[in-house]
Amino acid sequence: MSKQIPVSHMAFVRARAGRSMELGVRLSALIEPSRAAPGCLSFALQHSQCDPDLWLVSGFWSNQQAMTAYFSTPAMEVFAELVQDLVVNSLDFHTFKDVSVAQALGQSAAAVHKLAG
């Protein structure tokens, strides 16, 4: 039986040419503080196996309030810094929530936050 995850976020982060390893190092600084955040069920940084410039940052949260509170923490400033420092080419941030089968059949797409690119 799989565990239900009420809300989650995923950020697809594409490095500028020649900056992927720097991006990975800077994103890795998010792992421990994010995992320690109240309501965090899981937090991961992954690197694409077929695209060396693509990274995925994902977090799973006990509820919407915990995820929203996390978005207000200093840890999230790293994304603005990466854009400002021209380390990223694009940054697509998405949030998700669990839905029932009935909701999935009639619900519109999850909110998308395009931060750069």
**Encoding tokens for residue 30?**
């998010």
Percent of the chain with pLDDT strictly greater than 70: 85
**More confident call, 76 vs 115:** 76
pLDDT over 70 at 3, yes or no: no
* 38 domain-assigned: yes
* 2 domain-assigned: no
* 45 domain-assigned: yes
Say how many domains are in the chain.
1
DSSP the chain: -PPP--EEEEEEEEEPTT-HHHHHHHHHTTHHHHHTSTTEEEEEEEE-SS-TTEEEEEEEESSHHHHHHHHTSGGGHHHHHHHHTT-EEEEEEEEEE---HHHHHHPPPPPEEEEE-
pLDDT over 60 at 115, yes or no: no
**CB contact at 8 A, 60 and 35:** no
* 1 domain-assigned: no
* 21 domain-assigned: yes
**Encoding tokens for residue 57?**
């940052």
* 33 domain-assigned: yes
Give me the chain's average pLDDT, please.
Answer: 88
The domain containing residue 56 runs over which residues? 7-116
CATH of the domain at 108: 3.30.70.100
Question: How many whole angstroms separate alpha carbon 67 and alpha carbon 65?
Answer: 6
pLDDT at residue 91 in the model: 93
Whole-prediction pTM value?
Answer: 0.81
pLDDT over 90 at 68, yes or no: yes
